[in-house]
Each structure stands twice: as C-alpha cells, then as structure tokens.
C-alpha cells in the first residue's frame, strides 16, 4: 500500500472557487466580498461571470466585513474571501460585533491560513485564527482537510443562515475523504480505527496523522484517526468515545496550540473523561522557512506525530 503522503496533492482554493461559482449560478443572492484578493482567492472566474457580485473593497478589511454584514442585511449571502491573518485579526471587532453578535449570515473564508505563506513570515501567517474565532459565540468554525471537504463546507455554509468561519487551504494536501463519505458539519470522520490512542487532526495535518498511524501500525501500535473538520460545534461524542475507548489522545493542528483544536478537545476531555493528552501545533511565531519546512520544523509531520503517540503510551 502506498503511503498517503505519496498521493497527488491539491490546493483547496480551487475547490473553494469552483464551488462558489457553481452555487452562484443557481443563487443570485451569493456575492463574494474581498480585499484586493481576487487573485489569491481564485475569484477571477467568479468575477468574469458575475462582475457586479464580486465586491472588491480594496485593502480595507474592517470595511470589508462591515460591508458584508450590510449585504446580509439586504438579503444577500456574502462570502468574504481574504487572507486569514488580515481577515481574522485586522477585522476582529467587526467579526465580533457586526457578524457574530449581530448573527448576520456572513461566511468568512480565511484564505491561505496557518503558515501557508511560509517565508513571508508571522505577519502573514494565521496561526491565531482558530483561537480568535473560538472566542466568539455563535461562530461555526470549519477547517476542511481536502478539496472534497472544502466543497462540502462551502455548500453547507451557503445555506446555513448563520455566521461561519472556514479555513481555505493553500498548502497542497492529498485527498483524505473516504470514497463516498459525506462531510457533516459537527461530526468527526473516523478515518482509521484503532485501540491504543486517538489522533485528532484537522486541516492540513489530517493526512500527516494518517501517515503517522500507518507508521505506528507497522510498529504494532493501533491508533484511531479522527478528522475534526468542524472545530465549533465540536463533536463531543467522538472526543469522549476516543477518550473512553482508546485512553490516549493526541491533537494535531497547523495553528497556535493555545486555544485551538487541542484546547477545544481538552476542554471536553478534562471535564468528562480525563485521559493523558498531547497537544501538537505551532508553539510560537515561526522562523523563516517555507510552509513545508515549518511544518517539519515544528514536528507537525508523520515522524513528530508518531513520536508524540509513542511518548504518550510509554
């Protein structure tokens, strides 16, 4: 069997943009709002087909989010598409007041999240976005792991009628969705059964979690792998089942370890079924390097995840 890491990889922005175009053809309420990010959001085709419905406010993220709330007030379904750091950090108060607290159905699409801007450095990384969005009540948080999940997330968000934040990955990933699997918001997908520990991963790191599980299996260690594509609302049942049935949990995310997926899982575990855990993620602002280099640098790869599971079981 070839490793998942040897399979073809995809940029999820393509699935995002294609799905948005497909939806917009059928629903005139769908508009795209961006901040001079037509190219980086892959919205060129959308703009050609629906020039009036591509609203580029220029480099003005606070205005961008407020405008989206106003468009939602006027009956439109705005997909705000912007590099995740500038969306979630620069416009955080607008996201809090105009979208989350006002409960306007705005879909915030954090493009190129995590460390996918690599060498451009921490100003352009968005390791904080999951933590920031988790602090806002009423915000659904989706981190699709591959193109199929990205498409499903966009389709779900368009009809959700409530605030949604989703990461749209630039870092190329293999397909991890099981053939025919349906992405259900709020439901973790079990990609691999196992008995001794569970790796709960999200986004770019799901494929690496699977590779770690393959490696561990060769060493006789049986590990469950959950793809947690919905961070909020978290699939608490799947987390508790993992704790009770496998006794050890390792979480893995391309995000700051404080307040992200690992924290969300730990909040459930410590209050209901305490078991030993390891939280893998980005520990601090990254040094210079490509996205791939930085993931390896921080041990966010099969080797690092394998080591964490073994340490936990030792």
Partner 1 sequence: MIDLRAKIAASPPEVQAALLKDLAAEIRISVVEMIARAKLGHIGGDFSVTDIMTTLFFGVMKIDPKNPTWPERDRFILSKGHCSAALYSVLARLEFFPAALLKTFMAPLSPLNGHPNRLKVPGVEANTGPLGHGLPIAVGCAMAAKLAEQSWRTFVVLGDGELQEGSNWEAAMAASHRGLDNLVAVVDRNRLQQGAGTEETNRLEPLDEKWRSFGWDVVDINGHDHAALLEAFQPQATGRPRCVIAQTIKGKGVSFIENRAEWHHKVPSPEQVTAALEELAAR
Is residue 75 part of the contact set for partner 1 (CB under 8 A)? yes
Q: Is the peptide bond before 233 cis (omega within 30 degrees of 0)?
A: yes
Shortest separation between residue 173's beta carbon and partner 1, angstroms: 33
DSSP code at position 89: I
**Can residue 108 be called a binding residue for partner 1 (CB under 8 A)?**
no
Q: H helices then E strands: how many in the chain?
A: 12, 14
Smallest gap from Cβ 91 to partner 1, in A, equals 9
The residues, ordered by sequence, that sit 6+ positions from 73 with a Cβ below 8 Å of its Cβ are 104
**HSE-CB of 2 using CA atoms within 13 angstroms:** 6
HEC sequence for 172-202: CEECCCCCCCCCCCCCCEEEECCCCEEEEEC
Residue 127 has which token pair? 């390791």
253 is annotated as an active-site residue: no
CA–CA–CA angle 261, 265, 267 (5° rounding): 115
Would you call 157 helix, strand, or coil by DSSP? helix
Contact call for residue 276 and partner 1 (CB under 8 A): no
Q: Which is nearer to partner 1, 55 or 240 (CB)?
A: 55
**Closest CB 231 distance from partner 1, rounded Å:** 24
Among 47, 70, 259, 299, binds partner 1 (CB under 8 A): 70
Of 8, 61, 214, 303, catalytic: 61
Q: How far is the CB of 151 from partner 1 (least distance, A)?
A: 25
88 vs 263 by CB, closer to partner 1: 88
Minimal distance in Å, beta carbon 29 to partner 1? 9
From 70-78, 270-278, 280-288, 292-300, span contacting partner 1 (CB under 8 A): 70-78
Angstrom distance (rounded) from CA 222 to CA 204: 22
Tokens at 174, concatenated: 């293999």
Examine residue 66 and tell whether it contacts partner 1 (CB under 8 A): yes
Q: Is 65 helix (H, G, I), strand (E, B) or coil?
A: helix
Q: Is 36 in the site for partner 1 (CB under 8 A)?
A: no
Active centre residues (catalytic): 61
Binding site for partner 1 (CB under 8 A): 31, 52-53, 55, 57-58, 60, 62-76, 78, 93-94, 97-98, 101-103
């Amino acid at each position: 069997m070839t490793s998942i890491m040897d399979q073809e990889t995809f940029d999820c922005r393509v699935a995002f943009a294609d799905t948005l175009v497909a939806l917009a053809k059928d629903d005139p309420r769908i508009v795209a709002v961006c901040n001079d990010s037509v190219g980086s959001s892959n919205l060129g085709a959308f703009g050609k087909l629906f020039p009036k419905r591509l609203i580029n406010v220029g480099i003005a993220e606070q205005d961008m989010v407020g405008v989206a709330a106003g468009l939602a007030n006027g009956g439109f379904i705005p997909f705000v598409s912007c590099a995740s750091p500038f969306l979630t950090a620069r416009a955080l108060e607008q996201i809090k007041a105009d979208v989350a607290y006002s409960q306007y159905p705005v879909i915030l699409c954090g493009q190129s999240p995590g460390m996918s801007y690599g060498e451009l450095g921490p100003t352009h990384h968005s390791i904080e976005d999951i933590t920031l969005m988790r602090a806002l009540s009423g915000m659904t948080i989706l981190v699709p792991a591959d193109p199929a999940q990205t498409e499903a997330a966009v389709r779900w968000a368009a009809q959700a009628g409530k605030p949604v934040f989703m990461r749209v990955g630039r870092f190329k990933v293999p397909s991890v969705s099981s053939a025919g699997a349906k992405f259900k918001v709020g439901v973790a997908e079990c990609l691999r059964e196992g008995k001794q520990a569970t790796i709960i991963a999200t986004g770019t790191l799901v494929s690496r979690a699977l590779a770690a599980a393959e490696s561990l299996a060769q060493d006789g260690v049986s590990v469950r792998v959950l793809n947690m594509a919905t961070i909020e609302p978290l699939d608490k049942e799947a987390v508790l089942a993992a704790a009770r049935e496998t006794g050890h949990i390792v979480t893995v995310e391309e995000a700051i370890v404080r307040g992200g997926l690992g924290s969300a899982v730990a909040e459930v575990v410590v209050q209901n079924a305490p078991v030993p855990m390891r939280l893998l993620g980005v520990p601090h602002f990254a040094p210079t390097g490509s996205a791939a280099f930085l993931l390896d640098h921080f041990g966010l790869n099969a080797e690092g995840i394998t080591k964490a599971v073994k340490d936990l079981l030792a």
